[in-house]
Amino acid sequence: MTENIEKLRIVPVVAIDSADDALPLADALSQGGLPIAEITLRTEAGLEAISKLSSQYGFLVGAGTVHSVDQAKQVADVGAKFVVSPGFNPKTVQWCLDNSMPIFPGVSSPTDLETALEFGLSVVKFFPAEQIGGVKMLKALQGPYGGIRFIPTGGISAANLSEYLALPSVVACGGSWMVKPELIRNKQFDEIARLTREAMASI
């Protein structure tokens, strides 16, 4: 899973209000060269959207904002291929490891990274990236935690994307600038495809 994500370099983080928009969104992202999405559970439509996208050939759908074992079970049942959480919940991480579900839990400190090492994880989400030091913080962590790689998320945009991706410790970046809720809500899928193409061209 890490290899698949690293090939794409960007993980669109999506909060979707209507599951009916899931397939057009996937088409727009794919047209832009990015057949992947982290559908968050921040909205009631999240689970249904994951279910719809899980059957799309060649599209990699994961679940974000997963806070508990119950939610991890739910997203696994509807076909999510990976799990992302904003923080490090040991019970959720253990369930995912026990059930062969790739998980990228959120970390924001050396203490979190020590916990990740204890669980045998080598790739974690770095969140909220910009707010906790961004590129400078990641560079500082590379020394003592050289065996761990990151998916920075939070405050990533077209303006700072390349700076993050230039770091050897960064697998990919999570971002929502090309899939803002208002773009999806207003069915501006051509614009989503354009922003996605622009992001991919920049890397």
Q: What band does 193 get if pLDDT is binned at 50, 70 and 90?
A: very high
Q: Verify whether residue 73 is a known catalytic residue.
A: no
125 included as an active-site residue: yes
> Among 38, 81, 91, 136, which one carries the catalytic annotation?
38
Q: Would you tell me the crossing angle of helices 46-54 and 22-31 to the nearest 10 degrees? A: 60
* Long-range CB contacts for residues 139-145, cutoff 8 Å, separation at least 24: 139/167, 141/110, 141/113, 141/169, 142/167, 142/168, 142/169, 144/110, 145/110, 145/113, 145/117
Question: Measured between alpha carbons, how far is 187 from 155 in angstroms, rounded to an integer?
Answer: 24
Rg (CA), the chain: 16
Q: What is the pLDDT of residue 179?
A: 98
Delimit the domains of the chain by residue range.
2-198
CB 192 within 8 A of CB 29: yes
Q: Torsion over CA of 123, 96, 79 and 173, rounded to 10 degrees?
A: -20
| Residue whose pair of structure tokens reads 């959207």 in the numeric block | 49
pLDDT digits (tens, 9 = 90+) for 79-112: 999 999 999 999 999 999 999 999 999 999 999 9
Contacts of 159 (CB under 8 A, 6+ apart): none
pLDDT 10s digits, 97-156: 999 999 999 999 999 999 999 999 999 999 999 999 999 999 999 999 999 999 999 999
Q: What is the pTM of this model?
A: 0.97
Residue owning tokens 């590129």: 135
d(Cα 90, Cα 68) in Å, to the nearest integer? 9
Residue-level pLDDT at 50: 98
Output the six-digit token pair for 200: 């991919």
**2-198 fold:** TIM Barrel (3.20.20)
Residue from 3, 52, 125, 130 carrying the catalytic annotation: 125
